[in-house]
Amino acid sequence: MSDQILERYQPVGADRTLASYYAVRSTVSLAWVATALIIGSTSTFIAGALLLFYPAWDAVANVVDAEHGGLRNNPTQAFNMAVSALTTVAVGIALTARAPETPGADVARAHQCTVGQVAIAWLLQLSPVMLPIPGTSQRTHLEENLAATDVQLTTEQIDHLTAAST
């Protein structure tokens, strides 16, 4: 009898996809909170990266949801996407205003790139499965962020940034 009840509540098709989608969103959110609590307070560089990552992730997740009809049917979610995107841009601007003081400024000058590109290059070289594209709202910003994949940091520079982040 209980098996029959459980079978009725098993997600199928689109429901299974939606369940997986929200499981991923929840997992990323929990991982972000854990990272913020455990590591975020140890470094302004990591705190800045975390402040950029979450609203950017939330905006992207809302866009993915929109592709499945979510935003058109839910204006509150559309508003959340807009706020998340604007928050990412605002945090990026605020962090960039202090960029000359950041540990990555010297590395950025050495590679003739932005501090944001150094941050992305550093994260990608620490973990190539990560895809951080913070605050991307314009084509030029996307191209700048993607150019970070061409920035090859030396081991010494990676160590310098890692030390500054702890």
Q: Could you read off the pLDDT of 100-111 as tens digits, one per residue?
A: 566 788 888 889
Is the Cβ–Cβ distance between 95 and 51 less than 8 Å?
yes
Tell me: pLDDT of 20 over 70: yes
**Contacts (Cβ under 8 Å, ≥6 apart) of 166:** 42, 43
**Contacts (Cβ under 8 Å, ≥6 apart) of 107:** 118, 153, 157, 160, 161
Tell me: pLDDT of 123 over 70: yes
Helix (H, G, I), strand (E, B) or coil at 39: coil
Tell me: pLDDT of 156 over 60: yes
- pLDDT for 107 equals 86
Q: What is the mean pLDDT of residues 52-61?
A: 79
- Whole-angstrom distance, CA of residue 9 vs CA of residue 146: 43
Is the Cβ–Cβ distance between 127 and 68 less than 8 Å?
no
Tell me: pLDDT of 31 over 70: yes
Q: What is the mean pLDDT of residues 27-56?
A: 77
Tell me: pLDDT of 134 over 70: no
Helix, strand, coil percent content, the chain, rounded in steps of 5? 80, 0, 20
Helix (H, G, I), strand (E, B) or coil at 130: coil
Tokens of 32: 């972000």
- Asked whether the whole model's pTM tops 0.75, one would answer no
- pLDDT for 96 equals 65
- pLDDT for 98 equals 56
Q: Binning pLDDT at 50, 70 and 90, where does residue 146 land?
A: confident
- pLDDT for 29 equals 77
Tell me: pLDDT of 62 over 80: no
- Whole-angstrom distance, CA of residue 78 vs CA of residue 44: 31
- pLDDT for 6 equals 46
Is pLDDT larger for residue 77 or for residue 118? Answer: 118
Tell me: pLDDT of 153 over 80: yes
